[in-house]
Amino acid sequence: MAGFSWLRNRPNFILHKFLYPQHLASVCSRRRVASKAFHPIVHSRRGDFYNAGKPLDFANIRMLLLKRCIHATGYYNSREGDYYQLLGVPQNASKDEIKKAFHALAKKYHPDANKNNPLAKRKFQEIREAYEVLQDSEKRAEYDMLKQQSRENTTSSSRGTGGFRHANGSAEFSDSFQKIFSEIFEEETDNATSDIQVELSISFLEAAQGCTKHLSFDSNILCESCDGHGYPVNAKAKRCPTCEGTGTVFIHPFLARCSTCKGSGHIIKEYCRSCGGSGIVEVVKEVTVPIPAGVDSGDIISVPRAGKVGRRGQSGTLVIKLKVAEDLVFQRDGADLYVDSNIGFTQALIGGKVDVPTLNGKAQVKIPKGVQHGQLTILRGKGLPRKGFFVDHGDQYVRFRINFPTVVNDRQRAILEEFAKEEIEQAQNMAVDGNWWIRLTEYATTPRFMLELSTLMLVLLFINKVLT
Q: At what angle are helices 173-182 and 58-66 packed, to 10 degrees?
A: 100
More confident residue, 113 or 261: 261
Averaged over 173-194, what is the pLDDT? Answer: 51
Non-local CB neighbours of 55 within 8 Å, separated by 6+ positions: 19, 20
State which of 288-292, 384-388, 433-437, 443-447 shows the largest mean pLDDT: 288-292
Q: What's the residue count for the chain?
A: 468
Please, which pLDDT band fits residue 296 given cuts at 50, 70 and 90?
A: very high
CA–CA dist 146, 140 (Å, integer): 10
Same fold, 193-235+270-324 and 331-403: yes
Residues of the chain above pLDDT 70, percent: 69
What is the pLDDT, as a whole number, of residue 152?
A: 60
Tell me: the pLDDT tens digits for 145-180? 877 766 665 544 444 444 333 344 444 444 545 555
Please, which pLDDT band fits residue 188 given cuts at 50, 70 and 90?
A: very low
More confident residue, 186 or 334: 334
Tell me: the pLDDT tens digits for 312-322? 678 899 999 99
Q: How many Cα atoms sit within 13 Å of 334 on the Cβ side? A: 8
Q: What is the mean pLDDT of the chain?
A: 75
CA–CA dist 331, 343 (Å, integer): 19
Locate the domains of the chain by residue range.
5-66, 193-235+270-324, 331-403, 415-467
Domain 193-235+270-324 sits in CATH at: 2.60.260.20
Assigned architecture for domain 331-403? Sandwich (2.60)
Tell me: the pLDDT tens digits for 93-142? 998 899 889 888 888 888 777 777 767 778 888 888 888 889 888 888 88
- The whole-model pTM stands at 0.50
Averaged over 54-59, what is the pLDDT? Answer: 40
DSSP secondary structure of 298-354: T-EEEETT-S-B-TTS-B--EEEEEEEPP-SS-EEETTEEEEEEEEEHHHHHH-EEE
Averaged over 25-32, what is the pLDDT? Answer: 36
